Amino acid sequence: MIWNIDTPRCASGFASCGSIFDSARLKRELAVIEEKIGDPAVWADGARSQPLMRERKRLETLLADDAELARRQDDIAAYFELAKEGEAVEPELEREIPALVEFSEKLESKTMLSGDTDGLNAIMTVHPGAGGTESQDWAEMLMRMYLRWAERQGFKTEINEIQDGDEAGIKSATFTITGDFAYGLIHGESGVHRLVRISPFDQAKRRHTSFASVFVSPEIDDTIVIDIKVEDLRIDTYRSGGKGGQHVNTTDSAVRITHLPTGLVTGCQNERSQHKNKDRAMKMMRSKLYEYELDKKKAATRKIEDSKLEIGFGSQIRSYVLQPYRMAKDLRTRVEVGDVDKVLDGDLEPFIRGYLRMRREGNLPAPIDGEDVD
């Protein structure tokens, strides 16, 4: 860590002066929202009250973040004043400056979330590519990585549907991440993820390359109208449960819904009531159709789950190499992290910030083939 005793600045380049928020503007906007919420007529219309409540919560969170940033900056400035007077404050600075940098980086990510759906919850689906047990195990590793990321963020998670692999791993999994800006933060993870490692399932201890796909959609609420025709749906029921024991349901309570025109599929099995599972699966279907339509309108290059794009070479967005070297590298943003174990344990902040920055600049390149070891 390098400090300048005259200007509180750490080696990362973060200066403890100014603010990334316009608190005066935020307070004015909050006052307008509070005035609208005070109108009794608003509460008679859920379509009006829900967006206002979400906006109030967003503004209150930003103002709280601004106050916390100012407090941390003031604390560090005070330590530098003590240092000028000869006080030994290095232990405090060693602790507070990195914490301030980490806090400011998270706030920077928030300021880049301005999309209509960025503030919503996220629904994630993980599928293995070709390769049997090896790719199914990789899909489960990815699912764990995102669940650990959500835990680090203080978000709640709920597994909606999971199909276990034949020997290990999973054949598919869908789960919801609930929290402010969950979708905005994690939506850049959609795409194909590649793993290179010595396979634990290969007795010859050879190096294997595995692929798995991730699809992220926003959990839309009732204020967004999605027209779904009954005749376009196929609803199947099946017996839910895991690998055995008390969690196996003896009735056909699990529900899977297929939207025939698009081929989109959703399912839910975590409720014992077929009715509740159907409602949950329909909510996920509305979210997927919303994202599907957005992709069509924006001519996005990202493919949805029913795309014919092969889950394999040439389509990956990120590589996780465990052998012969160790590195996680995003092929769109060129962000590289050497501690791949930390990444697989849910530390995705460098990749999320890199994606959001490039999205803000409108400069997201397509993945480049052949950059990593096979």
- pLDDT at residue 245, as a whole number: 46
Average pLDDT over residues 109-119: 79
**Three-state DSSP class for residue 95:** helix
Pick the closest to residue 222 from 55, 36, 51, 59 (CA basis): 51
Do 188 and 133 fall within a single domain?
Answer: yes
Instruction: Find how far residue 28's CA is from the centre of its chain.
Output: 31
User: What is the Cα–Cα distance from 30 to 43, expressed in whole angstroms?
Assistant: 18
Per-residue pLDDT tens digits for 54-72: 788 878 888 898 899 999 9
- pLDDT at residue 13, as a whole number: 41
Length of the chain: 374
Q: Which amino acid is at 342?
A: K
Range of the domain at 35: 23-111
- pLDDT at residue 227, as a whole number: 75
- Give residue for tokens 């006052």: 31
Q: What are phi and psi of 61, to 5 degrees?
A: -65, -45
- Give residue for tokens 């005749």: 231
Do 332 and 226 fall within a single domain?
Answer: yes
Element (H, E) at 250: none
- pLDDT at residue 312, as a whole number: 53
Do 107 and 128 fall within a single domain?
Answer: no
Do 286 and 328 fall within a single domain?
Answer: yes
The domain boundary residue, chosen from 74, 89, 111? 111
- Helix axis angle for 46-84 and 90-111, nearest 10°, is 150
Do 232 and 263 fall within a single domain?
Answer: yes
The domain boundary residue, chosen from 111, 129, 163? 111
Do 48 and 190 fall within a single domain?
Answer: no
For the cut 90, the answer to whether the pLDDT of residue 108 exceeds it is no
The domain boundary residue, chosen from 111, 140, 170? 111
User: What is the Cα–Cα distance from 105 to 334, expressed in whole angstroms?
Assistant: 18
Per-residue pLDDT tens digits for 252-305: 788 999 999 888 999 898 887 888 898 888 888 888 888 787 776 554 334 434
Do 256 and 287 fall within a single domain?
Answer: yes
- Is 135 inside any structural domain? yes
- Is 2 inside any structural domain? no
Per-residue pLDDT tens digits for 73-90: 999 999 999 999 988 999
Do 75 and 187 fall within a single domain?
Answer: no
Per-residue pLDDT tens digits for 227-254: 788 888 999 888 766 554 444 455 678 8
User: What is the Cα–Cα distance from 90 to 95, expressed in whole angstroms?
Assistant: 9
pLDDT band at 355 (very low <50, low <70, confident <90, very high): very high
**Least confident range of 46-50, 270-274, 370-374:** 370-374
Element (H, E) at 267: strand 264-268
Tally of domains within the chain: 2
**Three-state DSSP class for residue 332:** coil
Q: What is the CATH number of the domain that holds 330?
A: 3.30.70.1660
Instruction: Find how far residue 250's CA is from the centre of its chain.
Output: 34
Do 268 and 343 fall within a single domain?
Answer: yes
Per-residue pLDDT tens digits for 176-212: 999 988 999 999 999 999 999 998 888 888 899 999 9
- pLDDT at residue 340, as a whole number: 96
Q: What is the CATH number of the domain that holds 45?
A: 1.20.58
Contact of 226 with 294, CB cutoff 8 Å: no
